[in-house]
Every structure is written in C-alpha cells, then in structure tokens.
C-alpha cells in the first residue's frame, strides 16, 4: 500500500525522503513522488514505476534543494498508476502540497462542488480533492484549514502537508490510516511506518485518529480536530534497524524464512513458565476463559489460513466451537454473534482495512475482542480489548512467512491454555504439548537446512501452468497456505482442495504431468489421503507428498517425498509449511519474478 515520508530540519530533505520511501517499498507501490520547498516555491517531481526512476530523475535528490519536504509511494486505487495520479498533489497555484494514504469516500461529491466553484483537477485521484479543499479554506492559518477539511472529508486518511507561505512547518493528519512522527537530532520526520525513520531516530509517536501534528525543525506539537493543543507520549523503538535490511540474504523472503526458528522461540518463550502457559498481557481470568461459548476467528489471506488451522486445534484440544471468517465477508453479512463469543482478529500488519472493520463491528456488538498482531502499536493492537503480540519483528517481504509461523504459535498457546483451564486436557498432556512446542524451532531449522533438495525440485516446475495442493483436516489448512504462497510470488495458477473434494469436479483438470502437492501429516487420515494421491496419479499427476518421518510406505504412491520431523498432530502445520514455502520461493526465483514485491500486491492492505 501507499507510503508517506516527510522531513523538516537542517539537512537536505530530498535524499532523506527518497531514503525513507525506499524503506517503505516493501508495502507495494506503482509510482512515487516528492515535493520540496526550495526557498521560494514548492517543487514537485513524480514518476511512474520504481523509486529508482525518481531517484535517477532527481540525481538522488540533489537537483531538489531544500530542507522541508514530503514524499509518497502510491499503490493505485482511484485512477491508473500514472505520473499525473502520483502524489504529491497540489492546489492550482502550487502553494500547497499533499500526500495521502487511504481513501476519501465522498471525493466525487466534493470534487463536483469544487469544480462548481471554479477549481480544475489534474488527476483522477481522490487525494487531489484534499489539496483544493485546503486551498478553499486556507486564509493564512494552516491549522484552521486542516481542521475544516477534516470535518468535510469522509473515509480514511493519513496526510502529509506543506504550505509554501509556512516554510517552517510540515503538517501530519490521520484518520484510520497509520502515521507516525519521529523526533530526530537534526530534524523531525513523519512516516506511515517505522522503518522509514529508523535511520534518523528511534523516538516515535503514533498519531491517533483525528489528531494533527505540526513539525518544525526543532519542535513537534499535537492538536485535536478542534485545533486545541494535546499532549502525546513517545515510544522508543527497540528493534534493530538491521532487522529491516536484507542482512546478506538474496531476498527478504529468504531471510524471513530463516528467521522462523527465532520467531517461534521469541513468541513461545515469554509465555512458557515452569511447564505452564502464562499469557499475562491478556489479563483473562480463568472464569472468563471458562465462559467463552465460541471462538470466532476473523482475518484475511495467510492470517485467515492460520485461523483455519486454529479451528482444528481449539476444537480438538479445548472443545470450544470455532467459526473462521474472511474479514471482507464478515463485516457485510450482519453476522450472528453470541454475547459470550470471543472474537479473535489475526493480522501481521495490524492495519488491514477489512480486519480492522471486522474488529470494530465485533466491538460494537459488545463482544470481547482479541488481536493476534505483529506490529506493535498498530490500529488493531490499539483497538482490540486484548492483544497477543507475535514477536516476529518487521516483516518486509510481501509474502508472509515468519509472521504466519508466529501466528500459529499464538493459537497453539491459547488453545493449550484454554484447554487446561476448561479441563479438557490433563496436566500431563499439557506438559507433553509444551515439550513438543519447545522442539519446533530446532525442527524448523532442520527443514530449512534441506533447502538445496527443494531448490532442485522447484527448478523443474518453473514452467508449470497449474499446481494443486491437497490435504485433509489440518493438512487442508496447510495446503491453503502452500497454494497461496506459490501463486502470489510465482504467478503460477494453483488451488488448494480438501483431498476428498477434488473428485467432485476439479479432478478433471488433472492431466499428464500436473503437479499435485499432497500434505499427509494427520495419521488418522493418512490412508484416506493416500487413496486421493492414487486417484490423481492414475490420471497422470506427478505427486509431491509432505509427510511425517517414518511414513516411508508413501513412496509407493507418491513420486517425490519430503519428510518432516515428528511432532504432535496439532503442530504439524509449523513444520509442513517450511518445504512448501521453500518450494514457492525457489520456483519464483527460477522464474525471475520479483520475489519480495510481487506484482499487484501490497504488504499492508489498508483499503477494503
Ligand atoms: C500472503 C499475505 C497476505 C496477508 C493478508 C493479511 O502472503 O501476506 O495474504 O496475510 O493480506 O495481512 P495482515 O496479516 O497484515 O492483516
């Protein structure tokens, strides 16, 4: 999704803006632009495509002198990805420049009114309305104009604004789209995400909904929507700036896959105390846990897939019924929620628009909500009643790997905790589960060590047209994620099917040489899935099976087998997903795709 950076200070702004935007590239974008005040005017430069086009155009910012500016990477929503539609947008006299993340929902109505008043528009964007509306209200007091605009626009926005006749200030405004300010030594910054400012400061402040920040070279002030001053506190970012860099790996995705043992350890350890599971941060009493009538998991994409796995885990271990919903569906179908239902929203970014809306819907209905979130201080983390942080660190590759793995751990811990409190497992069973959980990081490491074998296999499939992923129970949930990983980064069509469902239509697509990946880790379903393997193989499929160590019999049915170490049946997803991630990664590399930034995708989907 779009990224925002702004700077005011002693240094030249343009190189800092370009550098900050480069740290936001992972969010996905299709054009970029910056605007800098040169001492007399605001000068803007925009370019379609990658940031390097803009860098070349401005000689890395050198041709845009000035110490105040704003910058943007745009992921097109309203209007095609063109130079005209790229941000910043200006008023007609180019004395006000605006960058914007989010969507102005009533922009057509406002645009019509502004055209009636004689304003003309250069772009198809909703953002340009903000620039002209600011112009309309601006009578020399920026704060007054900004608050008037805030009262007129509906929708979501994070805005960075500069005024040519107020060159000592950068303004930042937010509603339902993340925005932070960073307090630097030689200047201050705004950004839509922390990595953009980490090179200059670790002291950041999260702007809340309907708040305004006014930055000068040496001060940052905050105001509410009525323009009244407010006090805010700063947070020190603890994670290392290197965590947001590639650290010698060819791609962020590979680096992040290799971080999974650590991610799993970091998410587990703080919650394991003397063979007990203690999740203090949730502040949930045993009474509250016993009272849960149902768990409703709501999420998007891979986060949703961890929810599908979690259904089997919570229901199996804790005997609590679970419903899993896609956030984009949940919010519009007037869902029937029982008042004792716990609503769990899963989100790496904590900013996914549909997941955030689902959270608000559940809260409005009076349900207790819990966020399983990776980004500290994100909207979902702040708004959920309870937060379970996955300690995966910043995830840069668009395709999630380590955050997915950490989300699984969060579910396992919650399920064991709930099961023990509700008396559906014994103390001994809990101890056994914990022993298996503690083994997972080493087992993941072992599987990652097998990467060359998977790479050789993947190289044979770079020209594949269709791939099918099948499995039953938890193996079906693993297949959903395996399939999404492959298609999103390699652009090869793939589908995941519950293994028993394939013969109800889709099996007609299997032809000589079609690759079918079968996940077979659930021992009680082993024979059933092997029968499904035989069904597709007799129709010409080439079968790759992922199964538990010891199931060597499968070699008679499958063409290529990957073994995963033994673990509890509920935790096999954490292991079986590793070869599938590696497979997708190497197919994508083999095809020469942009692994970390697949086309059309964004890291943080802040529009619905
Ligand atoms: C796929 C992927 C996406 C996200 C989805 C939800 O690799 O990363 O499917 O899982 O967009 O994002 P978050 O977890 O940030 O809410």
Computed over every residue of the chain, the mean pLDDT equals 94
* pLDDT score, position 246: 73
* Degrees, nearest 5: CA angle 482-487-490: 115
In three-state secondary structure terms, 88 is coil
Distance 252 CA to ligand 1 centre (A): 16
Give per-residue pLDDT as tens, 468-502. 999 999 999 999 999 999 999 999 999 999 999 98
In this prediction, residue 603 has a pLDDT band, given cuts at 50, 70 and 90, of: confident
- Residue having the nearest C-alpha atom to atom 3 of ligand 1: 301
pLDDT tens digits, one per residue of 511-535: 999 999 999 999 999 999 999 999 9
> CB of 166 closer than 6 A to ligand 1?
no
Of 581, 596, 601, nearest to 257 by C-alpha is 581
Ligand 1 centroid to 303 CA: how many Å?
6
Residue 439, phi then psi, degrees to nearest 5: -80, -20
Whole-angstrom Cα distance, residue 558 to residue 302? Answer: 27
Q: How far is the CA of 82 from the centre of ligand 1 (A)?
A: 26
CA 602 / ligand 1 centre spacing (Å): 9
* Ligand 1 atom at shortest distance from the alpha carbon of 303: 10
579 lines ligand 1 (CB under 6 A): no
Catalytic residue chosen out of the listed positions 2, 205, 300, 593 = 2
Band the pLDDT of 259: cuts 50, 70, 90.
Answer: very high
- pLDDT given at position 243: 63
Is the minimum distance from the CB of 401 to ligand 1 under 6 angstroms? no
Verify whether residue 2 is a known catalytic residue: yes
275 has a pLDDT exceeding 90: no
Closest Cα to atom 1, ligand 1: which residue?
399
pLDDT of 601 reads 85
- Count of residues in the chain: 608
367 Cβ below 6 A of ligand 1: no
Kindly report the three-state secondary structure assignment for every residue of 354-423: HHHHHHHHHHHCCCEEEEEECCCCCHHHHHCCEEEECCCCCCCCCCCCHHHHHHHHHHHHHHHHHHHHCC
Tell me if 488 CB under 6 Å of ligand 1. yes
Distances (CA, A) of 469 to 267, 276, 408, 607, 608: 28, 36, 20, 29, 28
* C-beta of 300 in contact with ligand 1 (< 6 A): yes
Ligand 1 touching residue 328 (CB < 6 A): no
Residue 355, ligand 1, Cβ within 6 A: yes
Residue nearest atom 11 of ligand 1, based on CA coordinates: 301
374 lines ligand 1 (CB under 6 A): no
Residue pLDDT, tens place only, 285-334: 999 999 999 999 999 999 999 999 999 999 999 999 999 999 999 988 89
Q: Which two tokens stand for residue 329?
A: 């569906």
**Ligand 1 pocket, 147 CB below 6 A?**
no
Provide the 10 A C-beta neighbour count for residue 45. 20
444 within ligand 1 shell (Cβ under 6 A): no
CA 445, 447, 452: angle at the middle one, nearest 5?
115
State percent of the chain over pLDDT 90: 85
Residue appearing with tokens 């019924």: 321
| Cα–ligand 1 centroid distance for 116 (angstroms) | 42
Tell me which residue has its CA closest to atom 10 in ligand 1: 302
Nearest to 479 by CA among 500, 496, 458, 503: 496
Dist. CA 608 → ligand 1 center (Å) = 13
Q: How far is the CA of 299 from the centre of ligand 1 (A)?
A: 8
Pocket residue to mutate for ligand 1, from 300, 327, 383, 396, most atoms within 8 A of Cβ? 300
Residue nearest to ligand 1 atom 7, measured at CA: 399
Asked about 205 being catalytic, the answer comes back as no
400 lines ligand 1 (CB under 6 A): yes
Q: How far is the CA of 227 from the centre of ligand 1 (A)?
A: 36
Question: What spacing in Å lies between the alpha carbon of 253 and ligand 1's midpoint?
Answer: 14
- At 217-258, the pLDDT tens digits run 999 999 999 999 999 999 998 776 666 667 678 899 999 999
């Amino acid at each position: 999704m779009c990224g925002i950076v702004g700077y005011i200070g002693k240094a030249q702004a343009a190189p800092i803006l370009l550098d900050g935007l480069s740290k936001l590239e992972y969010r996905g974008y299709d054009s970029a632009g910056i605007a800098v005040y040169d001492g007399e005017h605001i000068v803007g430069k925009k370019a379609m495509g990658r940031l390097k086009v803009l860098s070349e155009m401005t000689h890395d910012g050198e041709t845009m002198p000035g110490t105040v500016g704003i910058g943007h990477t745009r992921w097109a929503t309203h209007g095609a990805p063109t130079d005209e539609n790229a941000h910043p947008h200006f008023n007609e006299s180019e004395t006000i420049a605006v960058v914007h993340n989010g969507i102005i929902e009533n922009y057509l109505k406002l645009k019509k009114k502004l055209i009636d008043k004689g304003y003309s528009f250069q772009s198809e964007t909703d953002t340009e309305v903000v620039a002209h509306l600011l112009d309309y209200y601006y009578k020399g007091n920026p704060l007054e104009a900004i608050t008037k605009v805030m009262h007129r626009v509906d929708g979501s926005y994070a805005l960075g604004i500069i005024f040519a006749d107020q060159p000592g200030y950068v303004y930042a405004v937010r509603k339902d789209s993340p925005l932070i300010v960073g307090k630097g030594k030689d200047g201050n910054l705004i950004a839509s995400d922390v990595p953009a400012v980490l090179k200059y400061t670790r002291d950041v402040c999260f702007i809340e909904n309907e708040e305004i920040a006014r930055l000068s070279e040496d001060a940052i002030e905050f105001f509410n929507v009525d323009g009244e001053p407010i006090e805010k506190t700063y947070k020190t970012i603890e994670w290392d700036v290197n965590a947001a860099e590639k650290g010698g790996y060819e791609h962020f995705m590979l680096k992040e896959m290799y971080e999974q043992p650590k991610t799993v350890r970091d998410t587990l350890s703080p919650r394991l105390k003397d063979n007990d599971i203690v999740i203090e941060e949730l502040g949930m009493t045993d009474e509250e846990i016993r009272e849960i009538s149902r768990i409703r998991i709501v999420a998007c994409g891979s986060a949703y897939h961890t929810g599908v796995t979690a259904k089997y885990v919570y229901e199996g271990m804790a005997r609590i019924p679970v419903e899993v919903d896609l956030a984009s569906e949940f919010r519009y179908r007037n869902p029937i929620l029982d008042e004792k239902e716990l609503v769990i929203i899963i989100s790496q970014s904590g900013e996914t628009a549909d997941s955030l809306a689902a959270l608000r819907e559940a809260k409005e209905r009076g349900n207790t909500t819990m966020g399983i979130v990776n980004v500290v201080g994100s909207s979902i983390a702040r708004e959920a009643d309870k937060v379970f942080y996955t300690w995966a660190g910043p995830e840069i590759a668009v395709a999630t790997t380590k955050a997915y793995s950490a989300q699984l751990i969060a579910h396992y811990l919650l399920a064991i905790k709930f099961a023990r409190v509700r008396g559906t497992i014994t103390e001994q069973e809990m101890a056994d589960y914990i022993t298996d959980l503690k083994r997972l990081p080493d087992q993941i490491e072992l599987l990652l060590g097998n990467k060359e074998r998977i790479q050789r296999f993947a190289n044979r499939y770079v020209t594949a047209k269709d791939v099918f992923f099948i499995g039953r129970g938890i193996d079906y949930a693993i297949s959903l994620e395996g399939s999404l990983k492959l298609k999103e980064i390699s652009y090869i069509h793939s589908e995941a099917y519950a293994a028993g469902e394939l013969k109800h239509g889709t099996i007609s697509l299997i032809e000589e040489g079609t690759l079918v990946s079968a996940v077979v880790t659930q021992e009680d379903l082993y024979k059933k899935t092997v029968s499904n393997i035989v069904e597709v193989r007799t129709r010409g499929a080439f079968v790759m099976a992922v199964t538990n160590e010891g199931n060597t019999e499968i070699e008679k049915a499958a063409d290529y087998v990957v073994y995963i170490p033994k673990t509890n049946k509920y935790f096999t997803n954490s292991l079986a997903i590793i070869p599938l991630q590696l497979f997708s990664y190497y197919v994508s590399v083999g095809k020469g795709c942009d692994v970390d930034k697949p086309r059309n995708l964004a890291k943080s989907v802040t529009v619905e």
